[in-house]
């Protein structure tokens, strides 16, 4: 436990001293301020903030997590030469990165949006932001552990960003437009399960007056949303996204030869 606390403290301090963290937080707060300033009503503000968390925050977090591990790879290799379990090193690094970043971003979100949105909407934003941080921190660590070359790791991270933010939604839209006369719910659900951002959007926007913001794929799935079947499948898929990236990163770290 003492070794864990020491590693956790060091990783947290190292992250707080990173200039990339403060650049990222400044950009994050600037976006939140712009949304609050230009939004005319709470519903629009909630949806815009949710989309910013799902897209901007996920993109920045994936790239930042990958870069953070790459920048500390030599220190991690040095730590592993000491009598410290790999599990302790991984958990300390993951929690230090995740909790430190969550502290700053959650505080920013509450300070910027706390008075403008209802408690329920603030809670939904915080939960969504936490889920995004778990998923994309795990993905970023996995890429950095798997790919030692920094440029290649960042290139793969950028490819994942395009996949989640553009490619999968474009494929879903193309299928809906060209095969609208066929029952497409299962196909669209399968494509949506490959994208954690789409799943989070469904979970937060598909069941109330914000449903118009979930896109064509969401409107198609909304037909069966009230039955609970689609909700259950989306919840299971999102749970897998929360568990699998972190688990895969840990397994790869456990058996990687440094």
Q: What pLDDT, on a 0 to 100 scale, did the predictor assign at position 213?
A: 52
Q: What pLDDT, on a 0 to 100 scale, did the predictor assign at position 120?
A: 81
Q: What pLDDT, on a 0 to 100 scale, did the predictor assign at position 199?
A: 84
For the stretch 178-193, pLDDT in tens is 776 777 767 777 777 8
Q: What pLDDT, on a 0 to 100 scale, did the predictor assign at position 244?
A: 93
Q: Running DSSP on this structure, what letter comes out for residue 180?
A: T
DSSP track, 214-234: SHHHHHHHHTTGGGSHHHHHH
Q: Running DSSP on this structure, what letter comes out for residue 211?
A: G
Q: What pLDDT, on a 0 to 100 scale, did the predictor assign at position 245?
A: 92
Measured CA to CA, the distance from residue 207 to residue 251 in angstroms comes to: 37
Q: What pLDDT, on a 0 to 100 scale, did the predictor assign at position 23?
A: 86
What ranges do the domains of the chain cover? 2-167+243-255
For the stretch 31-48, pLDDT in tens is 888 888 887 777 778 888
Measured CA to CA, the distance from residue 243 to residue 134 in angstroms comes to: 9
Measured CA to CA, the distance from residue 251 to residue 137 in angstroms comes to: 15
For the CA atoms of 147, 153, 159, 161, what is the dihedral angle to 10 degrees? Answer: 110
The low-confidence residues of the chain, meaning pLDDT below 50, are none
Residue 33 contacts residue 199 (beta carbons within 8 Å): no
Q: What pLDDT, on a 0 to 100 scale, did the predictor assign at position 219?
A: 61
Per DSSP, the three-state class of 195 is coil
| 245 token code pair | 């990236």
The set of residues, in sequence order, having a beta carbon less than 8 Å from that of 123 and lying 6+ positions away, is none
Strands, E assignment, 112-247: none
Neighbours of 71 (CB within 10 A): 14
Q: What pLDDT, on a 0 to 100 scale, did the predictor assign at position 210?
A: 54
pTM of structure: 0.86
Measured CA to CA, the distance from residue 149 to residue 211 in angstroms comes to: 42
């Amino acid at each position: 436990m003492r070794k864990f606390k020491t590693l956790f403290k060091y990783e947290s301090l190292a992250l707080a001293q990173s200039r990339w963290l403060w650049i990222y937080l400044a950009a994050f707060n600037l976006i939140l301020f712009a949304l609050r300033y230009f939004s005319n009503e709470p519903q629009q503000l909630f949806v815009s903030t949710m989309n910013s968390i799902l897209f901007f925050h996920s993109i920045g977090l994936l790239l930042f997590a990958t870069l953070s591990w790459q920048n500390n790879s030599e220190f991690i290799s040095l730590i592993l030469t000491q009598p410290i379990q790999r599990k302790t090193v991984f958990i300390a690094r993951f929690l230090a990165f995740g909790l430190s970043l969550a502290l700053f971003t959650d505080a920013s979100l509450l300070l910027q949006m706390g008075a403008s949105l209802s408690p329920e909407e603030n809670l939904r934003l915080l939960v969504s932001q936490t889920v995004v941080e778990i998923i994309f921190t795990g993905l970023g660590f996995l890429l950095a552990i798997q790919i030692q070359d920094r440029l290649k790791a960042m290139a793969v991270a950028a490819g994942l960003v395009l996949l989640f933010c553009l490619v999968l939604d474009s494929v879903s839209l193309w299928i809906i437009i060209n095969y609208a006369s066929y029952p497409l719910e299962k196909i669209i659900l399968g494509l949506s399960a490959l994208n954690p951002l789409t799943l989070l959007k469904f979970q937060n926007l598909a069941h109330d007056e914000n449903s118009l913001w979930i896109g064509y794929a969401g409107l198609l799935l909304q037909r069966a949303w009230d039955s609970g079947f689609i909700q259950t499948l989306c919840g299971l898929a999102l749970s897998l996204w929360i568990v699998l990236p972190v688990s895969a990163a840990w397994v790869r770290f456990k058996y990687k030869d440094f």
